[in-house]
Amino acid sequence: MKASVGTVGDSYDNALAETVNGLYKAELIYSKRIWESVSEVELATMDWVHWWNTARLHEALDYRTPAAVETSYTHPTTTAPATV
């Protein structure tokens, strides 16, 4: 086994995972009182994960989506120099 990102004794590894799990439960799982089947939960989870990874606005990304940030990183726009 390999050690994870953090060092022994700090919680940086679990902090992000716990935050994401908490948001997932609050925004999706607990928002519906009764789920009809495991398949329904699985499909809803796939939709939520897709939204989380592509469409959510994130404060740390200047309220841009992760997909937009990735696109701007991989395909930067260049501007022509101003003429005087």
Model confidence over 15-61: pLDDT tens digits?
A: 778 888 999 999 999 999 899 999 999 999 999 999 998 899 989 89
- Count CA atoms closer than 13 A to 20's CA, side-chain side: 13
Quote the pLDDT of residue 11: 62
Distance of alpha carbon 5 from alpha carbon 12, whole angstroms: 8
Range of the domain at 39: 34-76
Residue 56 falls within a domain, yes or no?
yes
Residue 67 falls within a domain, yes or no?
yes
Say if pTM beats, i.e. exceeds, 0.85: no
Residue 11 falls within a domain, yes or no?
no
The arithmetic mean of pLDDT across residues 67-75, rounded, is 89
Residue 49 falls within a domain, yes or no?
yes
| Helix 38-54, helix 12-24: angle, nearest 10 | 120
Residue 40 falls within a domain, yes or no?
yes
Quote the pLDDT of residue 13: 66
The number of distinct structural domains making up the chain is 1
For residue 6, pLDDT beyond 70: no
